[in-house]
Amino acid sequence: LLLSGVAPAALLLRTPDVILSLGVIVAEELFGHSIPIVSLGDSFDRLEAHTHAAVAGSTVICGAGPLPPAPRSFSTADERLAASALQLEPEERAMLAGERGRAARVAMRVVARAAEVCDAEKLLRISQAHIDGCTYIGPGGLRFARELVALGGRVAVPTTLNSNSVDRRRWRAMGVPASLGEPSEALGQAYLDLGASLSFTCSPYLLPSAPGLGEHVAWGESNAVVFANSVLGARTLKYADYLDICAALVGRAPAAGAHLDEHRHATLVLDASALP
């Protein structure tokens, strides 16, 4: 949306949200386009009484007075990272400084900023990744992948690809219009150029490379995330498009959510005893 010029003027949230924030983070880091994101906390409820709001830095002005942002709202990415609890290892700082190439620097910034939104205190080493972002949903995703290729990106861990939008060998014979077939094929090729394996499956748990108990991975496909965390006992968040490949490029993921013991305990009990 940002690259097409049809994005909202700002995102006003009650609490930080990594998926909503990720599009802005990626657009800012790779293409220099951005919009304000402000987390308002309980002040979010005051928006309901107004039809217009203005964002000035990290302050939202609405109606008769400003709405104070939550304490974690800062005006720049570097300020947020500096104020966060995130601690990086020397190798991670080297990537952040560009010592491992331009693509790794951008990917590390995206991963670190996502970790800050998640309140992660560190990054975890992952053993593999599964990329959901290779499905074509618009020109922005293709431009993103091609930019990583142009920056010299190569995955740092074994990486598989989710199903593509078309049959890459037979889409023309199947009557798929070129407006979908060509960019879909190009997107798949871009991820192969980044070093991902020729898999194109939404079931990476059926591959010989399926992770084992306690293994930290970065998977994007929804059904695979559920299977990995439950049946396999591996550990992964539901990684959004773009964050999945950035994790693959640096071999790191935020230490948050289902990666951590404290977030893997059951919180809901279903009583099915009455069922026949």
CA atoms within 13 Å, Cβ hemisphere of 64: 2
- Residue in 54, 128, 55, 115 with CA at minimum distance from that of residue 86: 115
Report how far residue 194's alpha carbon sits from residue 177's, in angstroms, rounded to the nearest whole number: 26
Its pTM stands at 0.90
At 147-172, the pLDDT tens digits run 999 999 999 999 999 999 999 889 99
Residue 148: alpha-carbon gap to chain centroid: 15
Report how far residue 126's alpha carbon sits from residue 260's, in angstroms, rounded to the nearest whole number: 13
Q: What is the pLDDT of residue 68?
A: 65
Q: What is the pLDDT of residue 70?
A: 57
- The pLDDT > 90 percentage for the chain reads 76
259 vs 84, residue with greater confidence: 259
Report how far residue 212's alpha carbon sits from residue 268's, in angstroms, rounded to the nearest whole number: 25
Task: Read off the tokens for 261.
Answer: 């013991």
Q: What is the pLDDT of residue 80?
A: 81
Q: What is the pLDDT of residue 65?
A: 65
Query: Does 74 score more than 70 pLDDT?
Result: no
- Strand, helix or coil at 160? strand
Query: Does 72 score more than 60 pLDDT?
Result: no
At 79-135, the pLDDT tens digits run 888 888 899 999 999 999 999 999 999 999 999 999 999 999 999 999 999 999 999
Where on the phi/psi map is residue 141: left (φ > 0), alpha (ψ -120 to 50), or beta? alpha
Report how far residue 10's alpha carbon sits from residue 37's, in angstroms, rounded to the nearest whole number: 6
Report how far residue 256's alpha carbon sits from residue 115's, in angstroms, rounded to the nearest whole number: 8
Query: Does 55 score more than 90 pLDDT?
Result: no
- Strand, helix or coil at 37? strand
- Residue in 31, 49, 38 with CA at minimum distance from that of residue 8: 38
Q: What is 44-106 written as a DSSP string?
A: GGGGGG-S--EEETTEEEETTEEEPPPTT--SSHHHHHHHS-----HHHHHHHTTTT-HHHHH
Report how far residue 15's alpha carbon sits from residue 204's, in angstroms, rounded to the nearest whole number: 33
61 vs 208, residue with greater confidence: 208
Q: What is the pLDDT of residue 79?
A: 81
